[in-house]
Amino acid sequence: MAMTRRQRASAFRAAQYALLLVIILVFAFTANWTQLRHSFFNLEAAAKQFPDVITVALKNTIVYTVLGFSLGLALGLVLALMRLSSVGPYRWFARAYIEFFRGLPALLIFIAVGTGIPLAFPGTSLNRNVAIMVSLGIISAAYMAETIRAGIQAVPRGQIEAARSLGMSPGRAMITIVIPQAFRIVLPPLANELIMLTKDTSLAFLLATTPDQQELAQFARQALNTTQSLTPILVGGLCYLVITIPLSLVQQRLERRFGAGVKPGGGV
């Protein structure tokens, strides 16, 4: 007798659960739990990370993220408006910037900012915090520009026409009517970009930061070398989760709150 669609789905789920159970059992009986505990759950090594992992590494990670996101948001808004401009050179420049920096690995951008600027301008001393902010801002701006542009284009055309009928100039209509509604639409994807940017701060080590400028990833790597244990990596990972999980919850809340107000076809 042929199985119904529901029966096939139930059988497939049962097979998945069985496979997962087998994997767990194999891991449980073959793993060296003593070595795992020493490598990942060494309480003595974990205790040595405090309070610096909070007061230095976690704090710096948050600061770098906020600074980079702020610069990226401002630059991304400008690029989005340039992409929508009726002036050809503005559109070409914005498109070239977006395609160029979205196509490059973030690692190369950090290296270019940290070493390229001093080489291009001899005698220039670039503050490390500024270099990190600029690197993160350049990276995030390319992505946020397209997000903001999509949000602006999602605002119903009738909103602009109504503003123009009231005597508003195109610029004033964009600033007072369109952009506020666009940001309402793009808040969830911008929150996702903030999460991605938080993890990109791990590349700050390329700029030869001092101990008091270390972010979570570099702090964990340094501690790994001194403790000969992977526990600092676990501690650093948990600290990242302290940042990213609340941001994910905020993103989901924004999607429920604002996503429900966006109608198919771009209406709100």
Report the CATH architecture of 43-258.
Orthogonal Bundle (1.10)
pTM: 0.80
The yes-or-no verdict on residue 263 having pLDDT over 80 is no
DSSP one-letter code for 207: G
How confident is residue 145, by pLDDT bands cut at 50, 70 and 90?
Answer: very high
Task: Check whether 101 has a pLDDT greater than 80.
Answer: yes
- Mean pLDDT, the chain, integer: 85
Nearest to 217 by CA among 108, 56, 40, 67: 56
Cα separation of 58 and 214, whole Å?
9
Which is nearest to 258 in space by CA: 195, 196, 193, 189?
189
Which pLDDT band holds residue 93 (cuts at 50, 70, 90)? very high
Contact 126, 117 (CB under 8 A): yes
**How many residues does the structure list for the chain?**
268
What pLDDT does residue 265 have? Answer: 41
For the chain, the domains span 43-258
Three-state SS at 41: coil
Residue 267 has pLDDT above 60, yes or no: no
Quote the pLDDT of residue 69: 95
pLDDT digits (tens, 9 = 90+) for 6-40: 878 888 889 999 999 999 998 888 877 777 777 77
Rounded CA separation 180/163 (Å): 14
* Cα 135 versus chain centre, distance: 13
